[in-house]
Structure 1
């Protein structure tokens, strides 16, 4: 990894405080906080943070990603909120949260504006919540959701801070206010392998293989930023196909100077369903 960083010194760096990450442990959120702290100190020009895992593949080109973020108008992407069941609350959250906050749950995958990241690092609400959640498993599934979906948290760029009247009509057409947009494409199958095209599950999510590719490139392209549970070691041919697909779209963008119309069409279809 250090050798790779030397090849790309201007935009790639290792975290100054590396964390030994264990699934379901607070270490996962601690690692993200370490990167956030480094990013704030490293540059004053970036506008969005998007967290990724080591088993994902981008569904968008760089041009498409920039287009999405511009049309968000400064808004965070934190999906949900998902219902917090009594079972979930007993296992993963304290009986009461500070500052009158209500419990919420979301995906671990987010896109946050710079002001939101600064809030996480410096606000009293955030620090108190982090100190509390470090004693509970899967804190990353609650932390971002609690801040995003509680109006009294005053979380920057959240749905409560977002001003829809500042958006133009093209954003409504693009469908960025639709709940169908997701930071990640995932195939949830529970524990039923018959619902999974690849017949392989990891924590109730399908591993992405060759049989899933038609769904990804025809229907899910334009509806999420990346594909989750897609390690190149599982079915390497699927990874090679996606690499070719992604590369061809970038080449087409260079030729035409525009984004593939299918990208926008899938957005419109998602907002109707």
Structure 2
């Protein structure tokens, strides 16, 4: 394919690696299969029947296995589509972006997102259209080590939306813990200057994907964390070094994690208690303004920059200051920000990684879908469409169905991903 575009089958796999699924579900008894010729074993690259996704969400296994993919096929050329200068309407419609607030509640509750990218451009398109809403604000930070063509494509896509901007301050190695902390601070400086009155900021990386819809995220914040920050973690002193609670610190967005209790070098300023935990957060606007202006916050930032893993303790440490806006001094690991499968928790928190581990963190496979949709978390990490393309495709289709089912405004035809099935495919042939 020369350009990323909606196919005539309506399945937007332009943002996913081109994949063949050489399988069919063993959902019919043997005699039924003999009574009717089986569907073609080799489906067109990039085509996923909805019943396959549904079966995987229910925890069923496909036959013979989800194993043979078109890994040697070229990835869709999304650059040509993204660079369709002067035709942003065609691009946003073709990529099925939802460009109208879907309810009054959502329209009056703006979120801000900070998204750090380095690779997997197709995955970014899928992530962006899943979290995109016209009332929200998006700061995109492209890693300084990313290929020039990648950066141009992201800039061209962002240029078509008035609420998406590229951070002008480029951090090299922003996928690392130190680089990511500064990238987040840089984006925050721009976000607070916006006239859009967003209420919370959420940080993501290009390997994340939402499990909950925009409306469900808002309901979660209002019911559980009204005007409070979410920074899962515990104090780094005493028994906290043993990482109590549901699990160890989450990996830094885009990379692995080291023990942030090591390498402090010197005592933190202002006698603050250092907390260790997740590099992910969900912060109120007032707290962000505090981070950027308070003298203690600035001093802690300077101190944190010299530590081993600053993003895994900076946010949690400041959020435990009693006078910080939206602080949660007594909070621990709660927050449900990310669904993550860690090797050390296999058999305790989860049933094992059905994809593969990278730095002891699971890159999800199709067999993880049933576990993912049962998670109470808002987002999940990690995904890699280049090696496990079916996972994000199924999640995206399910997510869009839920988004549209919750809408209180008339939906547009181009917002829908057209249902696909073996039967649809057979009837068209």
Cα RMSD after superposing both structures: 2.8
- Asked which structure has the greater CA Rg, the reply is 2
Name the CA distance, whole Å, in 1 between partners of 2:264 and 2:336: 24
Equivalence for 1:181: 335
Equivalence for 2:163: 11
Does 2:229 correspond to 1:58? Answer: no
Residues 154-233 of structure 1 mapped to structure 2, 5 A cutoff: 154-160=323-329, 180-190=334-344, 196-217=352-373, 219-220=374-375, 223-233=376-386
Equivalence for 1:243: 396
Name the CA distance, whole Å, in 1 between partners of 2:267 and 2:408: 56
Are the counterparts in 2 of residues 213 and 238 from structure 1 also a CA contact under 8 Å? yes
Change (3 A) 1:58 1:192: closer
* Helix, strand or coil at the partner of 1:112: strand
* Helix, strand or coil at the partner of 1:74: coil
Question: Any unmatched runs of 5+ in structure 2?
Answer: 1-153, 243-257, 411-429
Name the CA distance, whole Å, in 1 between partners of 2:355 and 2:220: 33
Which protein has the bigger helix share? 1
Q: TM-score, normalised by structure 1?
A: 0.77
Equivalence for 1:97: 268
Deviation at 1:199, TM superposition (A): 4.8
Deviations 1:138-196 (A, max 9, x none): 10001011111243xx2210114x9xxxxxxxxxxxxxx99553211101114989964
Are the counterparts in 2 of residues 54 and 231 from structure 1 also a CA contact under 8 Å? no
Deviation at 1:82, TM superposition (A): 5.8
Deviations 1:51-107 (A, max 9, x none): 011101101111112222333210111112265529946633234211111121010
Name the CA distance, whole Å, in 2 between partners of 1:99 and 1:45: 32
Q: TM-score, normalised by structure 2?
A: 0.51
Name the CA distance, whole Å, in 2 between partners of 1:97 and 1:13: 34
Change (3 A) 1:126 1:70: same
Name the CA distance, whole Å, in 2 between partners of 1:35 and 1:41: 10
Change (3 A) 1:64 1:142: same
Question: Any unmatched runs of 5+ in structure 1?
Answer: 163-176, 258-273
Runs of 4+ in 1 over 6 A off after TM superposition: 191-195
Q: How many residues get paired?
A: 236
Name the CA distance, whole Å, in 1 between partners of 2:191 and 2:182: 14
Are the counterparts in 2 of residues 76 and 159 from structure 1 also a CA contact under 8 Å? yes
